[in-house]
Structure 1
Amino acid sequence: MSRASVARKAAAYVAGTAGVSAACFLSGWGVLKGEAAIARRVVGQPFDGAPDDNGVYGAGPGDAIQFVVLGDSTAKGMGADAASQTVGAIIATAVAAFAGRPVRLTNVAVVGATSPDLGGQLDGLLARVPHPDVALIMVGANDVTSRLSQTDAVEHLAETVRRLRDADAPVVVGTCPDLGVIKPVPQPLRQLARRWSRHLAAAQTRTVVELGGRTVSLGDLLGHEFSDSPAVMFSKDRFHPSSAGYARAASALLPSILDAIGEVSADTGRRPERLRGEAVRPVASAARRAARDPGTEVTGTEVTGMARNARGPWAVLLRRHRHPLPAPDDAAKHAEPDETSETVAPETDTPDSEDKPAASG
C-alpha cells in the first residue's frame, strides 16, 4: 500500500472519529454546562468582601518577620468572620509565638484571582516589602472553575515563585484544593472538578519544587471533616471555608512555614517514615502522590549528594498530619510494592493511581 493510500485511509479514519468525538463532546459539554448552572444556583453568591488581616501579630524583641500572602479568596480569608481567623493571621500569630518576635503580615491576595493575577499582586507587594522573610501562595481553585489552561496557570505561578526566590524569600505554596469535595456540585461535574484539581495541584508541585520552593497539598482542605461536617467547615456560601476550615488548613501549612524561616517544628530534621506514607521520590511521582494525599509537604532533597537524577529533581514527601501512626496491618495494606526497607532510600518510581488510598498518618 502506497504512502498516499495510507495517508488517505488515516485521514478518513480521523475524520470519522473526530465526528463521533465531536458529537459526544458537544453532548457532554451541554450536560456539564447545565450542571455548572445548577451548582452556581445551589452554592450561591460569594460574600461582599473578606476580612482585612494586614498588620502586626505577636510581640517581642527584634525586627518583625515579614510574612507575605498572595493568591485568591482562600488566601484572602473569604468566609472567615474576623481578621484573626484567616489562614494568614492564624499562621502569623503562631509564628510570632514560636519565634518570640512580632510578625508583620502583608496580604495582597484578591477574591476571584487566578494564577495570571499573581504577577500584578507581586508587583504591588515588592514595592511595599522588597525582601519578604517568607511567602505563602494559595491559588488554583479559580483556575479550575474558569477552565484556565493548566500550562498558562503553572507558567504564571512559576514566574511568581521565581521572582520571590530572586528576592531571597522562601516560598510555600498551598496547592489547588480538591473541588470535588463541594457537595452541592452534581456529578459528573464534581468528579471532573476533582480530576482537574488534582492534575493542577501536581503540576504546581513539580514546578514549585524545581524552583526551590515547597508545596503543601490542601487537597480536600485536609480531611474528611469537610465531607462529614460541611456545616462546620464551610461558610454560609457552602463554597469557601469557615473559620474552623481555615484553622484546619493553617495547621497543615504552619510547619512548612516554620521550617522555611528556620524555626524548629515537630517535623524539623525528621527522616521520612515509610509507615506514614513518606518517601524520597522523583518530583513528578512525589507530586502525583501529594495531590491525592492532603497535608503532604513536598520539597527538594538530595540522594547520595545529588539533587536530581535522569528523571528530574529528587523530592521528599512528609505528611504533616498530627494523627497517630497507622497500625502495622493498616500500613501494610497501604504500602506500595516499590517501597524499600530503608526509610531514606529513594523509591523506585511506579505509576500512581489517582484513586489509590494513601496511608493514614
Structure 2
Amino acid sequence: MDAISLRRTALAGAVVAASVVATVGGLAVLFGTEGRRAYHAVGHRLGDRGPDADKIYRPAWGKPLLLVVAGDSVAASLGATRPAATLGANLAVALSDHAHRAVELRTVAVVGAKTSDVNGQLDSLNGAVPFITLVIVGGNDLTNRVSLATSIKELTAVMLRLREMGSAVVVGTCPDFDTLPSLPKPLREVGGQLSRRLATAQFKAATAAGARPVLLGRAVRSIFLSEPHDMFAIDGFHPSTLGYRRASAVIIPAVLSAYNHSNEGRAARQDGAPSN
C-alpha cells in the first residue's frame, strides 16, 4: 500500500472513530435525559419515599446496634410495598439474629440523591455513630451526567468519613441499568455500559477505603432479566418487594462479615490487644 492509500485509510479510520465517539456520546446524553424523565415519571407513581421501617428490632435483646442506610431511592427501598419488605428491615432482622442483639435501623437515604448528597444525609445523624452503614448510590449520578471521577471522589469522602467515625461500611454498587424494562433500546445498553463502569469503579474505591463492596447489579442481573414482572415495581425502574428481597439476600453476607470484623476489632481493643 502506497503513502497516499495509507493516508486515506488512516483518514477513513479517524472519521469512523469520531463517528463512533459522537454516537456514544450522544446516546449517553440521551440516556441522561431519558433517565431524568423516567425519574420524574416514577416519582408520581411511587411517591417520594420508601416505606418507613425505622425502629428498634428485637428490642428485648439488649443495647441496640445502630444500622444506617444511606444513598438514593434504592437505599430508601422505593417500590417496596410495606416496611418489612425494605432493604433496611431485611438487613436489620438478619443482623439482629446473627449478633443476638437488638438493632436500631435508621434510614437517611433520600429519593433522587446523588453521591454528593450522602454527606448531608450523614449530618442528620447528629453525631450518632453507626455500627454499620450501608451506602447504595450512583444511579442519579448517571442520569444527571456527573463525571465518573467526581462520583468516585464523593463516594470516597463518604466512606472515609464513616470509617473515621468508627462505622463499618458496606457499599452496594450502582444497579445495572440494562435490566430496566422502562428504558428502550439502545438506551438500555448504553445505560448498562455506563452503570457497570461506575459499579466497577465504586467496587475498587470501596475496597481501597476498607469498605465491603457488593457488585449489586451483577449479583441480581440474571433474575431481574428473566423475571422483570416480579422483580420490578409498577414503574419498571425500581425493584419490587420481591426485588428488594433478592437484593437483600446478596447484601446480607457483607453486612454480617462487617459485623464480625468490627466486633472482633472492638473486643481486641477492649482487651488491650492490637486490632487488625
**What is the TM-score when the length of structure 1 is the normalising length?**
0.63
User: How far, CA to CA, are the matches of 1:201 and 1:31 in structure 2?
Assistant: 16
Corresponding residue for 1:99?
A: 99
User: Do structure 1's residue 48 and structure 2's residue 54 form an aligned pair?
Assistant: no
Corresponding residue for 1:336?
A: none
User: Do structure 1's residue 235 and structure 2's residue 222 form an aligned pair?
Assistant: no
Give the alignment of 1:1-361 within 5 angstroms. 21=18, 25=22, 29=26, 33=30, 37=34, 40=37, 44-46=41-43, 47-49=46-48, 50-125=50-125, 127-129=126-128, 131-220=129-218, 222-262=220-260
Change in 2 beyond 3 A, CA 1:20/1:201: closer
User: How far, CA to CA, are the matches of 1:157 and 1:198 in structure 2?
Assistant: 16
Cα deviation, residue 227, structure 1:
1.4
Secondary structure at the counterpart of residue 173 of structure 1: strand
Matched residue type, 1:149 = S
Change in 2 beyond 3 A, CA 1:41/1:112: closer
Corresponding residue for 1:298?
A: none
CA contact (8 A) 2:231 2:239 kept: yes
Corresponding residue for 2:4?
A: none
Secondary structure at the counterpart of residue 76 of structure 1: coil
Q: 1:217-262 deviations in whole A, cap 9, x for unaligned?
A: 1015614221121111100111000010001011111111111111
Secondary structure at the counterpart of residue 132 of structure 1: coil
CA contact (8 A) 1:220 1:226 kept: no
Cα deviation, residue 208, structure 1:
1.2
Cα deviation, residue 25, structure 1:
1.8
Question: How big is the alpha-carbon RMSD for the aligned residues of Structure 1 and Structure 2?
Answer: 3.0
CA contact (8 A) 1:59 1:96 kept: no
- Where does the alignment leave 5 or more consecutive residues of structure 1 unmatched? 1-12, 264-306, 308-361
- Give the structure with the larger helix fraction: 2
Secondary structure at the counterpart of residue 70 of structure 2: strand
Matched residue type, 1:48 = G
CA contact (8 A) 1:74 1:240 kept: yes
Secondary structure at the counterpart of residue 234 of structure 2: coil
Change in 2 beyond 3 A, CA 1:31/1:132: closer
CA contact (8 A) 2:33 2:143 kept: no
CA contact (8 A) 1:43 1:184 kept: no
Paired residues in the alignment total 249
User: How far, CA to CA, are the matches of 2:180 and 2:237 in structure 1?
Assistant: 7
Cα deviation, residue 61, structure 1:
3.3
CA contact (8 A) 1:181 1:227 kept: yes
Matched residue type, 1:91 = L
Cα deviation, residue 104, structure 1:
0.2
Cα deviation, residue 157, structure 1:
0.5
User: How far, CA to CA, are the matches of 2:221 and 2:28 in structure 1?
Assistant: 30
Cα deviation, residue 72, structure 1:
0.2
**What is the TM-score when the length of structure 2 is the normalising length?**
0.81
Matched residue type, 1:113 = A
User: How far, CA to CA, are the matches of 1:27 and 1:198 in structure 2?
Assistant: 15
User: How far, CA to CA, are the matches of 1:56 and 1:198 in structure 2?
Assistant: 35
- Where does the alignment leave 5 or more consecutive residues of structure 2 unmatched? 1-9, 262-275
CA contact (8 A) 1:208 1:215 kept: yes
User: How far, CA to CA, are the matches of 1:136 and 1:31 in structure 2?
Assistant: 29
Cα deviation, residue 33, structure 1:
2.7
Change in 2 beyond 3 A, CA 1:246/1:31: closer
User: How far, CA to CA, are the matches of 1:213 and 1:62 in structure 2?
Assistant: 27
Matched residue type, 1:192 = V
